[in-house]
Structure 1
Amino acid sequence: MSIGNSPPDDRPSVGRALAQARIAAGLSVDAVSTTTRVRVPILQAIEQDDFSRCGGDVYARGHIRTLARAVGIDPEPLVEQYAAEHSAETAPAPVAPLYEAERIRSEPRRPNWTAAMVAAIVAVVGFVGYTVVSGDGGDGDTSATSPTASPSSTGPSGRSPQANGVPKPPVPSGSAIAAAPPGKVTVKASAEGGTSWIQATDGNGKQLFQNSLKKGESVTWTDDRKIKLVVGNAGAVQLFVNGKDIGLAGSKGQVAHLTYTPGDPTQG
């Protein structure tokens, strides 16, 4: 596969668009490589519109989708642009002649009579053993096998039932923020409006999270001092700080840098 041709209009090439979005999101090549698991040489080649390192047209489209989501932009227009610019380079795979398929067709397998005989013997021995065991136990006291009464669904004290004397664990709360310990900062990010790339660090600068959050997914962090966020495509992320809904992290396509402390929900 050769290096892609120049786009026919004034819009940036696929690789240039990905590079601009990455820079706008404040991400380095190493950070995007770590998040997407696309090796740095391949990522750099794609940003220069060299797709020969991708290993084929299908892999190139997959890399474009992965990198676009990581930097917070819609991948489909870039995939369509790539297909339009490289349509001449993709040749249909030759169809094998019919006689080739007939020639390599495997012969039908012959029945394994030995295995069938062994299975029949095992079945007979098992049936005889079951008959003997059932006959010996037929005169026994049937009262010993009578089922015991099932425990009441509610005990005398009105508490929930127990299994084998062990209390059932309490049902967890539907919100991780509701159970947050006092004196700490708890931040929940929920991708309500689309995919967003998020990086979270604690008060000591330790990285807690760095990945793309797909639509419908959410993640929660807790720290004693503060939580710092870098949110790509901030208009797609709903934030909950110390149990309160503070709304969207920013506007669509914006890269937001936010910090929260135990005294918030106002931004620290």
Structure 2
Amino acid sequence: MSIGNSPEDERPFEDGRSSDGHEEEASPSVGRALQQARIAAGLTVDDVSSATRVRIAIVHAIEADDFTPCGGDVYARGHIRTLAKAVHTDPAPLLARYDDDHGGRPAPTPAAPLFEAERIRPERRGPNWTAAMVAAIVAVVGFVGFTAFKGGDSDSDAASQVTQGASPSASKPAAPKPSTTTATPKSDPSDSAIAAAPQDKVTVQVSAVDGRSWISAKDHNGRMLFDGLLKKGESKTFQDSSKVNLILGDAGAIQLYVNGKKIEDDFQPGAVERLTYTKGDPEVG
């Protein structure tokens, strides 16, 4: 118990003043700096969320210096860079301050486990025993029919040999016909099926050329086309009648071809990008 002090005297000092009454000159935190820049730019949290496609709850958390909802240091740095650009401030000092506060620049982290908060988890269903039983029955019936068919062919071949006699020179095997199939040369990604995509559709090819990245793709109705980890060297092609929506977990590792044309955007390693492409692109829709 404090003697001679009121409850007001025991409260922490506010308004950036130390115990001796002097104003502290420490630079603002990352979240506070982003909040001040947003207010100075005359923007609301809703404005920033709409411009960056970062959820409102995550914007509020970052401005409060809570980076837990980001899913890890790599993605927290990507969100800081995105928000800084939206409020017209230099992200470099903010990223340096974040690294100092969190033990230095993080090592690359696998993307798939870190996005569990933003992914829609499918319901876990039990095994479909009915389908398994039907498949087993079909397999047994097919095996029995195949065995009976092969047995009938063997019997008929033996009878034919007895009737005609085993004469090695009776007939000559037919000469194999020369193949008329020509080898199709491999083409670059820009010359593949994506380049021949119909003009009335939008076609997007995603290639992990510089590393692996989690990606999500939806059509214009919001139906999930793909949601998973794309390993280095792998590619996925998505097509829709009007629009394809993408989320790239590590945009710096991805190369995009839209409607047969290479996208030249300078995506940064570890940056989270949310993109929409339409039939009139390669400009982002």
TM-score, structure 1 normalization: 0.44
